[in-house]
Structures are given as structure tokens and as C-alpha cells.
Amino acid sequence: MPKKIHRLVNFEGGVNESSDPRDVETNEVIQSDNVVVDELGKLKLIGEVSSTAITTFSSQSIEPGFGLFSYSTDRDNAGNLNHTDWITMLNVADGNVDLRHTTSGSSAVITDKLDLGGNNDNVRGSFYFADGVLRGTDSNFAAARNANTQWYGYTDSKLFHTTDRDTNNGTAVHEISRWTGTDASLKKLTDMGTPVTFELYDAGATNPSATQITNRKNRIVLAYWKFDNGDWNGDYQFGFTPVYVGDQEGPMDIHETQTITCADHKVLFQVYVQNADSATVSAGDAHILGDDRIIGINIYFRPYGEKTFRLLKSIDLKEGGQNHWKAYNSTDHTAHGVFAGTVTLAQPVQTSGSGTNSYKEATATVTINNTNYSNGFDDRKGILRLWGFNASPEYHDVKVELDVQDGSSSGTNFPISVVLPSAGTHEFRAELLDEDFNVVAESAPIETTIADSGLISTDSDRFDYGSEYGAYADREDEETWYNI
Amino acid sequence: MVNYAFINPGKFHSGFQFLGPPFHHREYIEELEPYKNVKFKTAVLHNRRVYVGNVKITTNAGVIETLGDTMLKSEANQFDRFTMRGRIDVTSGDGEDIIKLESYADRVLQFKHSTLHVINATEKGEFLEDSYKFKGVVNPQAVARTDYGIAWANKFGCFIYDGRQIHDLLEDGIKRKIKQSTWDSFVTASTMVGYSPSKRQIIVVDGHTDDDTGANIFLYDIPTRAWVKGLGRVNNDDKSNFAVIPTADRTSSQLCFLKKDSSDVKLVPWSDTSAVGAIDLRMRDEDFGEPHIRKKISKIYVTSKRGSGITVSGATNGSQNFSDITFDVGTISVDQTVWTKTEHKVTAGGNNVYSVQLKFSGTAANANFEINDISVVYRLKGVK
């Protein structure tokens, strides 16, 4: 028989040690210790763990099976916007997690960034990473450790904007731009390192003074003031929750010791977040409510005795809504924004002719004497409302600057065009309203008798079916004047 | 004393006005307050929520509970907020704790000690899609994420979930590639599974402690679906879990772990580059398609590179005794950098055999040792 050649050229089937050696596929082998078949038609040596370390953590120790986690952030350790890869290294000796850049150019080990509470007792790190933040915890529940799950991420909060962010990024009182390590738990405000305290304050007469705005941080004063003609009735209790980055609401603190009592009131609220004895906050300072992650406060209310709280208002600690935030001084600002003085309405004067005895266009002059004019009425407007005239109530169509008045003079006059009402005795009155149409001051009424109800022309330009002319139903000259 | 505050609205004595209590606003539900603290043994991000499993929670009343069967999901986009509403108990009181969570293709895979629960998790909610006995893991390091799915290993096999079904990688059709006894003795309570993305290889390490014998591996090459074994290819030191870490230039990623090295800890990568070491390569028992006909094996040719240190030997008739055949030159002594043919004449034991099985063994002197092909010269004997 002639010689034959049998060639073995394919090995990509790898090991088949379970079948009979004679029955394995022609591209399989029976044993392949340290030989790899990942390239077709070739057998070669397998790889191994590199003897060259990527990095070394000196004088550290690990819990077998745990401690390594990889994640990537948009920022480097200096806080600059550089895509950066990181690893964790949990040192079982002390339970602290070191972090290290694995990206070129920044090889420093950043030590002890998360404390998982280890005491050399088999601390086992468990991690997750979401939206730029690393969370780590000790998953060894058997160990007697009390450390909470930890949070480590970059905080970029511009708090307490005093100007519009759309203009040059606005002006923030406290710019937090740093890596923050803290408990991951969403604490209630009273569970902060320094517990936050609360107070309700009736600001109907004056803003809070140093009695309420104390020399400490971590305190919230909810100022309120009431007006008539509202629907608040009874006692109301309030609760406060922190809102953390990501719109994560923390647990509520119920303010048990104070309520607001109302009887057909409408209520206005203003929030004061204390900052001790400074109008500024340095960038490196701690968050004044105790956690860098807090970006808002939710205020809740409930009728006293009921179980359910409902949201009253969400307060944005960053931009603060349309009117942003403002620094408040407990000594100088207690009277700011609170109107004090008089509103006086003078006898209306006909625009043509004289007196007030005819249905005619006239000018009613309101004099506002704001003795508190200098006390912080920036951007505050008032609205004049006149009663008793032909179109009643009549709103002055130009808002009144509330800080116009020089307190040493007799006041500032606001001449307003009005139309006198029909014949008879009428009472005229002027009210100064705030932006929310609440009466902050009113004039003494003046009583005026109008003898001549005036004429209304047949001129179609002046003909009006409005009810305001109903008073002319008793016209004498029926050929010329119509009863309406 | 002058004290300061920041006021909102930011105008003096200008408030948020409410004509009446806004009863139409949303309720605050105390029962849905976030837990005071949540510790977890495993966590996975899925659909903009975090799922944590096997948890130790502290309620706002200060009650501490350890819930080994419980999975908590965070509120959407709120990765620190876990409430009672997010509690998911697939099974409880079953004698198994949650060991590891992973997610893939709209599913959360809940690995318990011996059971795998596949949970369909979408924005609308979660439901148990299927449960698989004997597919659990005993330690979290035995699970790895690959770009083909989730891979894991236990005493019963090595598996991958591709989003639709579970494949046992030890099996190929009706064929099992690694003996159950081999696998059973290889897998330990601290077996680790890692994924090397550069070559798409799953690496199963026998254990992560320094008292694990050998620090051996099984390597599964996903493109070829082939298993090979590595001996002493990972350090016999205490090791952390595996992680895939980007390279320093961020152009690639590599499988790494931390290892204890004297008083330090080092981050070391798995290298695909061939490394020197002892080999034991055994080919199939070749009967040349004629199992009942005697043959005479006269010589073999081996085409290789850098073959110094490697010896060829042969067994006949399925004996597994690799001293059955004697070659004139047993070593592949050629150390060429290009493919080089070596000839090995059979001097004894090659006559009147039914089959022959070749073995290549020894310690390769050069890491670039490769075999390209093997040729066996034989002659069929006449049938009597």
C-alpha cells in the first residue's frame, strides 16, 4: 500500500475532552493546556496576567473578590472638563476607597475618598455609578459597621442667584464647584450634621429681625403675611423637605411648634435661608443647609389635625424663579418693602370747566406719601385703584414706583383721568395695591355731590350701550337725549 | 448683631401669594419617603434606574432590616432615592439570597445562589419572565458583562444570556466539551469570570484567594467557540474582582484586577500576548478514517516557529501512553522566526497500529512558539 499523508491544519474547535479521543472533530484537540486556538490554523501560547502593573497602591490590602470598580467622568480630579477614567481601590485595612485616574497625564492616587467604615473586618465594597456620581457601600452585612452608603461626585451648583442667569450667567451667591464626598442617603433637614431649624414668622408689619434671623446657618424662616378676602380658614401646619440634585426629594420635617391661623385670608409667603453674619458665601464654604447636593426646598402644608400634607411651593435654591434671590440684612432690612405712609385722594377737578357737578371728564389726584420710601422698594410697583367714579373700580394704568416718595415732602402726586359718575352724592376713595392686588394703603374717602349729571350726545361716536350710562335714563330733553 | 439670609422671592416683602390652600397640589405620601440608608450587595443600572439587590435598609423610623431576597429600584433618574414603592420580591424564603444583578436587553438578571430569575423590566414595570434552576452563582465575581450578553459560571457550566435565551458554553449541540468532573473540580466558591473585550474571550479563573491551587483558567474564545485551559496564568495571590478598564490613551479597554503583592496592591491587566510556559497539547486519536485497518506510522512533519523546548510524542490505539512511539528526534529544536518544517521519524512503536495520538509538551523557550500544521506519514496495511 502506498504511503499517505494525513495533515492536521485546523485547530479552532479547541478542547473537547469529554468525547472519546478518536471521535472528536478534526479541528478539536483533547487537551490544550496553555495553548490557545483563537487564530485559525494556528496553535500558540496562551496569554497571562501582565507582570507590569498599571498602578500600585502602596501599603494597602484587599478583600479577595472585592474592591475594584471602573467608571468614567466628564471631569478630572482638578474639576476641569476632561474625560477621565477612574478605578476604585478599597483598602480593607481601613475601609477607605482610593480613586485613581487611569487616563494618561494624571496618575495620582486620590486617597480615602469614600469611607465605607472598615475596621479591618472584611469590608467588601459594592459600587454603582450613575450620572457622574459613584456610590459605594460595604456589602458585608455581618460586620458591625454603621457607615452609610457613600456618594462621591462633582457638584456644580450655583446657588442663590441674585440676577438673571440668562445675562452673563447671572450672579450666584454661592458657587459650589468641587468634588463632594458625603453620605448617599437623602437626609431630612434636621438630620444634617448641624440640624436645620425652622420658624414661621408673621411679617405683616415688619420683616424678620435678628430675633428670627439668627447668627447661624442651617435655618429656614418662612415669613408670611395675610390679607382679607381669601380662602385660608383654620390652622395650618407646615413641613419642609430638601430637594437633592436630580430632583430627589428627601424626607419631610414637620414643623410642629407653630401654625398659621387664618380666617378668610389670603396668605403670602417668603422664604428666608439664613447665612449667619455674612451676606456672602465663599466658594469653598460648606452648603449653608449642610449638604452640597441640596438644590431646593419643598414646602408643604396641611390643615392642622389632618394627615395629608400637600405641596405649597417648591423653592429653587439656584435661580429662585422669576425674582431670584436677594441678600437680606436683619438689622437694616426689616422695614424694606413694607409700605408706611399715607395715600390721599384730592377732590376731582373737571378737565373743562370747574367743579364736580357735572358728568364730565375730570382729574383725580392721588398723593402717595411713602415715609418708608428708602427702605428697599427696588423694582417694587404699586397699583392705584379708585372707587366711586364712573368706571369703578378704576385701575391706574401705570404702575406706581413705590420708592418715589421723598419722605420729607408732602408726597408725590399722581393725577389720574377719570369720568365723574351720575348726579347724586358719591364717595370717592383711592387704594394702593401691591403687585398681587393686595391693599397696602388707602385714602380717606371723600364725599361729593354731583348736581348736574351732564349730557350725552346723540353723536354715534359717543353712543354707548354700556351699563355705565344707565344713570341717564331720566334725561329731560328726550328729543336730543336718549334714555338708555 | 447683623445677621443675613437669602430671601425668595428676591424682593423685599414680596411673597408667593395663595388665595386659598392649594389642595389641588400633589400630596406628600409619608409611606414613600426614601429610606434613611440602603446598603446593597449588588447593583445594576437599567432604564435610568438603579436596581440594588440583597439589601440592608434603615427606615426613617430607624429600623434596620436585612432583606436578602429583596431588590429595590430607585425612582427614575433618581439614583439615590429608594422607597417602599420600589421594592421587588421575586421569591422570598427560598433559602437563597440575591448574589448578583445584571441587566441586558430590557431584562434584569437576578442571580441567586442556585436560581436565575430573568425579570422583564421596562418603564411600565417588572414581571418575572422566567426562572432557571441550577443557573445561579455563589459569588458575585462569577458574572461578567460581555458585548454578547451576560456570562457566568457555576458548578453546572458556563453560560451566556444573549437577551433571548441562555446558552451553555460548555456544550456544542449534543456534545459537551469539558467533562463535568473536570469543570466541577475547577469551579470553586470563589471562581471569577472576566471578559477580555479585545479578543472577545471569556476567562474563568478557579479562585480569587491565594490559597486557590494553581490560579488556573479556562478561556472561551467567543468567535471560534473554543475552550482552552491555562495553567498558572493568573497570579496565585489574593485578587479583587475583575473589571474592564480603559487604557491610558482611552483607545481600548483591558480586563484587569487588583492583586495583593507583598504589602502593596497592584492593578494588573490580562494580556492576550503569548507568554512562555509549560504546554500539554494532545491531538485527537487519529485512525485516518480506517479504524479497523492496521497502519504503519513512519514519520511526522511539524511546521512551527520558535519550537525550542517542545517535545513531540505519540500514543497508539487510544492508550494515552505517550511513550508508545519513539521518534528519532523528539524535540522541536528549531528556533526559527519563520515557519519551519521539522521531520520526526518513527523509530519504534509505529508499526501495526490502528490509531495514533500525538502530544506536544514541554516548556516553550520562546513566547512566540506556534504550530501551523502537523503531517503524519503512514501506510495502510493489507486486510487479512
pLDDT tens-digit profile, chain B (384 residues): 799 999 999 999 999 999 999 999 999 998 889 999 999 999 999 999 999 999 999 998 889 999 999 999 999 999 999 999 999 999 888 999 999 999 999 999 999 999 999 999 988 889 999 999 999 999 999 999 999 999 999 999 999 999 999 999 999 888 899 999 999 999 999 999 999 999 999 999 999 887 656 689 999 999 999 999 999 999 888 999 999 999 988 899 999 999 999 999 999 999 999 999 999 999 999 999 999 999 999 999 999 999 889 999 999 999 999 999 999 999 987 788 899 999 999 999 999 999 999 999 999 989 999 999 999 999 998 877
B165 and B290, same structural domain? Answer: no
Domain final residue, candidates B219, B250, B273: B273
C-alpha distance from residue B248 to each of A128, B14, B115 (Å): 22, 55, 39
Which residues are CB-contacts of B197 (< 8 A; sequence separation ≥ 6)? B146, B147, B244, B252, B253, B254, B255
Which residues are CB-contacts of A405 (< 8 A; sequence separation ≥ 6)? A341, A368, A369, A370, A371, A373, A411, A412
Residue among A19, A23, A29, A35 with most chain B CBs within 10 A, to mutate: A35
B33 and B116, same structural domain? Answer: yes
Chain B residues lying within 8 Å of A137, measured CB to CB: 38-40
Domain final residue, candidates B71, B106, B136: B136
A201 and A130, same structural domain? Answer: no
Contact present, A265 and A317 (Cβ < 8 Å): no
Q: What is chain B's mean pLDDT, rounded?
A: 93
C-alpha distance from residue A109 to each of A180, B220, B253 (Å): 17, 34, 20
Residue A88 placed within a domain: yes
Query: CB burial class (10 A; 0-12, 13-18, 19+) of residue A356?
Result: buried
B3 and B132, same structural domain? Answer: yes
Domain final residue, candidates B240, B273, B306: B273
Distance CA B182, CA B179 (A): 5
Residue A175 placed within a domain: no
Q: What is the end-to-end Cα distance of chain A in Å, rounded?
A: 135
Can you give the pLDDT at residue A359? 58
Residue among B1, B13, B29, B258 with most chain A CBs within 10 A, to mutate: B13
Distance CA A476, CA B340 (A): 133
Can you give the pLDDT at residue B369? 95
Assigned C-alpha cell, A261: 391661623
Average pLDDT over residues A274-281: 93
A264 and A309, same structural domain? Answer: yes
Contact present, A37 and B228 (Cβ < 8 Å): yes
B295 and B345, same structural domain? Answer: yes
Distance CA B282, CA B268 (A): 31
B174 and B84, same structural domain? Answer: no
B149 and B219, same structural domain? Answer: yes
C-alpha gyration radius of chain A: 38
Nearest CA in chain B to A9: B373
Residue A323 placed within a domain: no
Distance CA A12, CA B255 (A): 23
C-alpha distance from residue B198 to each of B22, B107, B229, B245, B272 (Å): 59, 26, 19, 12, 8
Domain final residue, candidates A125, A147, A169: A147
The model's confidence at residue A353, banded by pLDDT at 50, 70 and 90, is low
Pairing label, strands A28-29, A14-15: parallel
Assigned C-alpha cell, B307: 519550537
CATH number of residue B358's parent domain: 2.60.120
**Residue A393: is the preceding peptide bond cis (ω within 30°)?**
yes
A129 and A44, same structural domain? Answer: no
Pairing label, strands A43-45, A197-202: unpaired
Closest CA to B168 of B181, B180, B156, B185: B156
Put simply, the answer to whether B4 touches A274 (Cβ < 8 Å) is: yes
Residue among A43, A222, A307, A310 with most chain B CBs within 10 A, to mutate: A43
A295 and A367, same structural domain? Answer: no
B254 and B181, same structural domain? Answer: yes
DSSP B290: -
In total, how many domains does chain B have? 3
A292 and A219, same structural domain? Answer: yes
Size of interface A-B (CB pairs under 8 A): 547
How close, in Å, is residue B163 to chain A by CA atoms? Answer: 22
Q: What is chain A's mean pLDDT, rounded?
A: 86
Dihedral (Cα; B274, B279, B280, B283), 10-degree rounding: 40
Domain membership of residue A365 as a residue range: 341-453
Other CB atoms within 10 A of residue A323 CB: 17
Domain membership of residue B132 as a residue range: 1-136
A18 and A89, same structural domain? Answer: no
B119 and B155, same structural domain? Answer: no
Residue A282 placed within a domain: yes
Put simply, the answer to whether A32 touches B281 (Cβ < 8 Å) is: yes
Can you give the pLDDT at residue A456? 42
Distance CA A135, CA A129 (A): 6
Among A56, A83, A126, the residue with its CB nearest the CB of B42 is: A126
DSSP H or E run through B313 = strand B310-316
Put simply, the answer to whether B12 touches A336 (Cβ < 8 Å) is: yes
Can you give the pLDDT at residue A169? 77
Q: What share of residues in chain A are helix, strand, coil (percent, to 5)?
A: 0, 45, 50
Query: CB burial class (10 A; 0-12, 13-18, 19+) of residue A80?
Result: exposed
Choice among A85-89, A104-108, A278-282, A328-332 with the minimum mean pLDDT: A104-108
Distance CA A427, CA A223 (A): 36
Residue A410 or A344, more confident: A344
Query: CB burial class (10 A; 0-12, 13-18, 19+) of residue A353?
Result: exposed
DSSP B323: B
A79 and A11, same structural domain? Answer: no
The Cβ-side half-sphere exposure at B20, using a 13 Å CA radius, reads 7
Put simply, the answer to whether B226 touches A15 (Cβ < 8 Å) is: yes
Assigned C-alpha cell, B73: 429600584
Chain B residues lying within 8 Å of A295, measured CB to CB: none
Can you give the pLDDT at residue A30? 95
Which residues are CB-contacts of B384 (< 8 A; sequence separation ≥ 6)? none
Residue A411 or A475, more confident: A411
> Can you tell me which residue has the cell 397696602?
A440
Dihedral (Cα; B351, B357, B363, B364), 10-degree rounding: 90
Choice among A194-198, A369-373, B364-368 with the minimum mean pLDDT: A369-373
Interfacial A residues in 21-60 facing B (CB < 8 Å): 21-22, 24-26, 28-38, 40-60
Residue A465 placed within a domain: no
Closest CA to A238 of A311, A146, A341: A311
Chain B residues lying within 8 Å of A441, measured CB to CB: none
How close, in Å, is residue A104 to chain B by CA atoms? Answer: 5
A312 and A198, same structural domain? Answer: yes
Residue A352 or A216, more confident: A216
DSSP A285: S
* CB burial readout B67-104, b (16+ within 10 A) else e: bbbbbbbbbeebbbbbbeebebebeeeeebbbbbbbbb
A357 and A255, same structural domain? Answer: no
In total, how many domains does chain A have? 4
A303 and A197, same structural domain? Answer: yes
Residue A426 placed within a domain: yes
Chain A residues lying within 8 Å of B269, measured CB to CB: 49-50, 54
SS (H, E, C) A84-99: EEEEEEEECCCCEEEE
Residue A462 placed within a domain: no
B201 and B254, same structural domain? Answer: yes
Assigned C-alpha cell, B161: 444570556
Say what the pTM is.
Answer: 0.89
A99 and A24, same structural domain? Answer: no
Assigned C-alpha cell, B84: 417602599
A209 and A284, same structural domain? Answer: yes
Contact present, B230 and A17 (Cβ < 8 Å): no
Assigned C-alpha cell, A15: 478542547
Put simply, the answer to whether B17 touches A311 (Cβ < 8 Å) is: no
Cα–Cα–Cα angle for A131, A132, A137, rounded to 5 degrees: 95
The model's confidence at residue A102, banded by pLDDT at 50, 70 and 90, is confident
CATH number of residue A397's parent domain: 2.60.40.10
B320 and B375, same structural domain? Answer: yes
**Residue type at A29 in one-letter notation:** V
B215 and B160, same structural domain? Answer: yes
Distance CA B38, CA B50 (A): 12
Indicate if the pLDDT at residue A176 is higher than 80: yes
B149 and B238, same structural domain? Answer: yes
